[in-house]
Structure 1
Amino acid sequence: GSYFQNGRKVASLILFLIYDLAVSAWRVAVVVMRPKLELKPGVFLYRHKVRSEFQIALLSNLVGLTPGTLIFDISDDERTLYVHAFDCSDPDARRREISEGFERRILELSE
C-alpha cells in the first residue's frame, strides 16, 4: 500500500515539474517573442508551509528551476522565500501557483 502511494505521489510531483517547466518555458518564449515587452519584473515573498529542511530545499529548487523565477534568499526563520519573477504583475497568482503546485505535492509526499 504505502510504497505504491508514495510512488504515485513522487510520479505526480515529477509529472507536475515537467508540465510546469513546459508551461513556464512557453510563457517566457511568448513574452520574449513579442515586439514590445510588457514585463513587470519584481520580487514577492512566499510564506511556505513545508516543515523539514529537505522540503524547503526541494521547494526552493523546484520553484527556481521554473523558467522566469529565481529564489534568491530565505528569511532567517526559514519560513519565507524571496522570489524574483520576470513577470510579477500578479504576485498573488504566483503564490497560488506555488502553493497549489509544488508545495501541495511536496506536502502530500510526507503524509
Structure 2
Amino acid sequence: MPLFILNISFAAVFTLLTGSGRIGIFLFGFVLGYGILWLSSPLYKDTRYFKKLPKTLNLITYFLKELFVSNLRVLWDVITPGHISRPGIIGVPLDAETDLEIFLVANLISLTPGSLSVDLSEDKKTLFVHIMFLENATAARTDIKNGLEKRVLEVMRS
C-alpha cells in the first residue's frame, strides 16, 4: 500500500476513534500518522514519500499565497476608478518537459487571477502567458520560472 494512502487511512481511523468529524482532527491525525511513518521509514524501501510531501505542501502554500495576492490586485483594479492594469503577453521558456508538468504549470497559472496561459509553442518549449499587470516582462518570466514552475518540477521530479 502506498504510504500516502496508509497515512490517509491512519488519519481517517484517528478521526473516527476520536468521534469527531472536524477537519482539524483529521489534519492532526494526518500529521501524527506522517510522524509515525517517518519514524518507521527504515522499514520501507525506496520511498519518495518523505521528500515529496513537504515539496507538495510548499507548492500548495506558494500557490495559495499567489492566489490571495493576485485576487487583491484584481479586486483593487476593479473597485478603483483609474485602471492600473497594463496587460501584455509574454513567452516563458519552460524547463517542464512532460505533458503533465506542462499541464500543471499552465493550469496553475490560469487559476491565478490576472494571468492566463494562452498558447504553447509547437516544440513545447515556450508557454505564452497573458498577464494583467505586466510591468516588466523579464521580471514576470523570472517570477513564473523561479516560483511556480520550479515548485511544480520539484514535486513532479522528486
Deviations 1:91-110 (Å, cap 9, x if unpaired)? Answer: 22211211121111112120
Q: Is the strand fraction higher in 1 or 2?
A: 1
| 1:101 maps to 2:157 | no
Runs of 4+ deviating beyond 4 Å: none
> Which residue of 1 is the match for residue 59 of structure 2?
13
Q: Percent identity?
A: 34
Gaps (5+ residues) in structure 2? 1-46
Query: Which protein has greater RCO, CA pairs closer than 8 Å, 6+ apart?
Result: 1
Matched length:
111
Structure number with bigger Rg: 2
**In structure 1, the residue corresponding to 2:102 is in which secondary structure?**
helix
**In structure 2, the residue corresponding to 1:35 is in which secondary structure?**
coil
> Matches of residues 1-111 of structure 1 in structure 2 within 5 Å?
2-109=48-155, 110-111=157-158
The alignment's TM-score, normalised by the length of structure 1, stands at: 0.92
**In structure 2, the residue corresponding to 1:57 is in which secondary structure?**
helix
The alignment's TM-score, normalised by the length of structure 2, stands at: 0.66
Gaps (5+ residues) in structure 1? none
Amino acid at match of 1:101: G
**In structure 2, the residue corresponding to 1:83 is in which secondary structure?**
strand
Give the aligned CA root-mean-square deviation in angstroms.
1.3
